[in-house]
Amino acid sequence: MKDTNKHQGLRNQLVKQLEDKGITDKNVLAAIGKIPRHLFLDSSFENFSYQDKAFPIEAGQTISQPYTVAFQTQLLEVEKDHKILEIGTGSGYQTAVLCLMGAKVYSVERQNKLFKVTSNLLPKLHIRPKFLSFGDGYKGLPDYAPFDSIIVTAGAPFIPQPLMAQLKVGGRLVIPVGEKEQIMTLLIRKNETQFEKHEFGDFRFVPLLENKN
């Protein structure tokens, strides 16, 4: 579990790249500048782990490109102590970014192998989400709702109704919507029945699948 000055130098370069690509949220950039992304990847990727690229992880999933992580997180407008639901824990990297920004993170992962690996890794890095769950992301976590914001880190063919229901009024839901390519979509809950929708261009994600594996 080594994190060296060289790794920090590579992180600083990555942060600069993200700024150049239009990420302006200082708290997002600070978190990415601190988190040892190489420890979330197979050691064979260590030399590439601070490139702005997605990489394969366990169970046929991927760790998202840092720009995508930063872009989605920036859309959430995270504040300290915000209660955030994350659908698709994956490697735990996005979870770590949110935790470092002071959010209370409740995260759901449907791949049991990944859930076990990540549940083991995060405490070793002193990253402590409020709740990690092995379950079906389409259902969210109704027992812990409502949430200040919800982030979905897999491509969904539609926006799951239970997730919309678990968002508090004024809350933000960030989700990539589409089959092969996704459009990054932001929903802001205006009242009990109305949502304001914004779209932010094309991204590529692994699909959001139903049920547990």
| Catalytic-role residue among 49, 64, 107, 133 | 64
Whether 133 is a known active-site residue: answer no
Amino acid residing at 186: L
DSSP symbol at 192: S
Structure tokens at 16: 């600069």
Amino acid residing at 65: Q
Alpha-carbon span 199 to 176, nearest angstrom:
9
Place of tokens 């192998």: 113
Instruction: State the CB neighbour count (10 A cutoff) for residue 164.
Output: 16
R_g of the chain computed on alpha carbons: 16
Known catalytic residues are 64
